[in-house]
Chain A
Amino acid sequence: MTLPARAADAAPLKLGYAKCAHCLPMALTPGLAQGVTIEATGFNSGNDVLTALVSKSIDVAQVTYLHYVTALDKGFDVVAISGQVNGGSECLSTPALDLPKDNWTAFKAQVEKAKAAGTPLKIAASRGNAQDIHMRGAFAKQGIDVNKDLQFVNIPNPSDHIAALRRGEIDMVCTVEPFASQIRLAGAGKPFMLPYDQAAGKLTNLIVTRSDVIAARRADVQATVAAVVALVDKLKADKSVWTDAIVKQTGLDKSIAESALDNAFPDYAIHKPETLAIARMMKDLKYISNDVTPAIDKTLDYSFLEAVTKRSKNDLGY
């Protein structure tokens, strides 16, 4: 009778993560886990990870806050159990625009001029990504409507951003690391701003699971959150581990990986007010159709983080 139970306990916990610069250190989680065997799998995109989670192919997933909100909108069973890393968004303009960094006055003047000439500036992002939300929020705060004052170009794959900027087909792009660093270091674009001055702040990545996984394997989920916290502490202490993980798994140049991490903020806290702001922004943009703020209230589970860090949920972003 004890044999099947043991076998079930010994089953590895399946963890999925996307292959972005900020997400890749998740591959180090199995090595930091104690009391649980984690089987980490890299996916091409956050959508693939989330789909794998809700279809029960994996047990724990690293996704963005936007994925989490989208999943709640669709009524999927997802529970947020830890943060991971934030940041990674940057808006870069074409060198031809000759736009000084963080100079909104100069940018607004160019926006007005182009709009008056009937050829609004073209701004690109990957619709539905964290960078898209960050950018729209930051622009709205400056009184610029991305859809009315600018011409929005949806380039779903961030690796295509650099070519569009190089060819002069867009005037600005709000992209994710390491592509932002790649653009900057290649001289294809000039840094304009980090779009964090808005209600959603710099939130990017979140660790989520399902309630049935928590019910069946609470101790394993707890051990996984402990591994994520250990990972975050490790990344905060020494970014070279992170750089090595990026270089090893992507083959990117070390200078690009290092530059990408200047805009990365390891953080295991789950920031509730900003999460609610993201949900409201997504509803306003019609990215989701329901008000998911009550669902967010119910599905942010701080208990694992509290147990690992011995901090209260108020200290952990509640």
Chain B
Amino acid sequence: MISATESAGHIAAQPGIGKRLRKQIGRRLDRFVVPLLLLLGWEAFARSGVLPPALLPAPSAVLHALADWMLGIDETTQSYSGLWLRDAFSSAWRVAFGFAIAAATGVIAGTAIGWWRTAETMLEPTLQMLRPIPPVSWIPLAIIWFGIANKPAIFLVFLGAFFPILMNTIHGVKGVDRNLIRAGAMMGASERQLLRHIVLPAALPSIFAGLRIAIGSAWMLTVTAEMVAVKSGLGYVLWDSYYFLRYDIVLAAMISIGLLGFISDLAIKRLMNWVLHWQKATTVAGRQG
């Protein structure tokens, strides 16, 4: 067993380790430079008096609103004070539900379209026609079909997430190396085995790319989805605050959505790295660490 002192001495003795550590810390700090500059510029502009502070609240005012919304420090966010967790959970739940349905149906439909010509002929024209329709335009139909509250919101989130997953899955399946399939077939694999052991694993990088795009779309859609008669959620708070000209809360809601979107993307990225660990040795992503 090596003691702490021995270990420290051992590390110090290795030339270049301190330099590498400094480089690593520097790289970690790099990511904060642009956001910090943006915040400073925003604070300066907000304080310049060009626009009324209520119209463009400074980052400090937005952070104050966010802190009160999260922790209920002084009730400046009025009826939302201290309810951030409830709102974040409501939105996260709708996003998770809509995204899960989109992921399941998108991967299944995308695989079917990519693999079977009949499915492609039958499904693709309809889906491609539906794809350019903006999710917001589905609101009236969503209410007629699903009523008010959570169901139409989940439907809209599903719509936002479904097409990126579908398109990437189709692309992933169609892009599988034919030689791999030939090799599998030569070894006597059934169609089901080919799909399970060759096509799907080979399409996974593309499917995960679709999932990452989709989770971002799903969060974007929360703002649209929560226009429809829900009682809580980050998008709901954003709209409701806009009706009362509380731009500090509007911005706090935007930051919250961005933050949760970032965390969800990070989770999918981690899952992707774990599932696609075999890719690391052969791709640029692996070289970057």
A interface residues with partner B (beta carbon < 8 Å): 47, 50-51, 54-55, 70-71, 73-77, 124, 127-128, 153-157, 159-160, 163-164, 167, 169-170, 286-289
Contacts and interface: CB of A to CB of B under 8 A. Distances in A.
Given A76-B52, A76-B54, A153-B229, A160 B143 contact: yes
A128 B143 contact: no
Interface string B240-277: 10111100000000000000000000000000000000
Contacts of B78: 286, 289
Given A154-B231, A164-B143, A70 B244 contact: yes
Contacts of A289: 76, 78
18 contacts: A51-B245, A55-B51, A70-B244, A74-B54, A154-B231, A155-B148, A156-B228, A156-B239, A159-B140, A160-B139, A160-B140, A160-B229, A163-B144, A164-B143, A164-B148, A167-B147, A169-B147, A169-B149
B245 A47 contact: yes
B54 A75 contact: yes
B227 interface: yes
A136 to B, nearest CB: 14
A286 B78 CA distance: 7
A204 to B, nearest CB: 16
Given A156-B229, A169-B148, A54 B52 contact: yes
B146 to A, nearest CB: 9
B245 A70 contact: yes
Contacts of B190: none
A169 B229 CA distance: 11
Contacts of B149: 169
Interface residues of B, number: 25
Contacts of B118: none
Contacts of A71: 245
A240 B148 CA distance: 36
B55 interface: yes
A309 B283 CA distance: 78
Main secondary structure of the interface of A (DSSP, over half): loop
- Residue with the greatest number of chain A CB neighbours at <10 A, chosen from B55, B79, B139: B55
Interface string B26-70: 000000000000000000000000011111000000000000000
Contacts, number: 78
Contacts of B144: 163
A71 B55 CA distance: 10
Given A47-B245, A54-B52, A127 B240 contact: yes
Given A160-B229, A170-B148, 13 more contacts: A51-B55, A74-B54, A74-B245, A76-B245, A127-B240, A155-B148, A156-B227, A159-B140, A160-B139, A163-B144, A164-B229, A169-B148, A169-B149
A85 to B, nearest CB: 21
Contacts of A160: 139-140, 143, 148, 228-229
A173 to B, nearest CB: 11
A66 B54 CA distance: 17
Contacts of B147: 163-164, 167, 169
A283 to B, nearest CB: 11
A75 B227 contact: no
Interface in B214-241: 227-229, 231, 239-240
A291 B11 CA distance: 66
Nearest to A285: B79
Contacts of A124: 229
Contact of A154 (B51, B54, B140, B229): B229
A77 B244 CA distance: 16
A55 B229 contact: no
A211 to B, nearest CB: 13
A114 B227 CA distance: 28
A128 B52 contact: no
A158 B65 CA distance: 29
A128 B245 CA distance: 11
A199 B85 CA distance: 37
